[in-house]
Amino acid sequence: MTDVVVILVTAPVGDAGERIAHDLVSSGLAACVNRVPGIRSVYRWEGRVHDDGEDLLIIKTVRDRVDALTRRVLQIHPYQVPEVVVVPVEGGSAPYLDWVRGQVVGDG
């Protein structure tokens, strides 16, 4: 197990995902955010089933910054209840994991 984590966040189609990605990287909360357009999400909200297009944000950061990153996403995300799912990284390319660690600023 490493201290690097991947965080998944969905965003509405449009510029919301771009704004969130730039904010997280610019602030040093994330090393990198991949924006994957064109996903479909089927979910239940307020008693109805919805089927909406969304963008998926794949965020790379370190465990010590998860709480601060989550708080920031909740502040700037347009959804009432945005998805923020943390996935541990068990291993990977040592140079890449070191790069992630080197790009993330601060500690909580």
pLDDT for residue 62: 98
pLDDT for residue 107: 59
Predicted confidence (pLDDT) per residue in 81-96, tens digit: 999 999 999 999 999 9
Q: Is 36 helix (H, G, I), strand (E, B) or coil?
A: strand
DSSP annotation of 38: E
pLDDT for residue 29: 98
DSSP symbols for 39-107? EEEEEEETTEEEEEEEEEEEEEEEGGGHHHHHHHHHHH-SSSS---EEEE-----HHHHHHHHHH--S-
pLDDT for residue 106: 80
Report all structural domains of the chain as residue ranges with CATH numbers, in order of start.
Answer: 4-103 (3.30.70.120)
Confidence category of residue 80, pLDDT binned at 50, 70, 90: very high
pLDDT for residue 79: 97
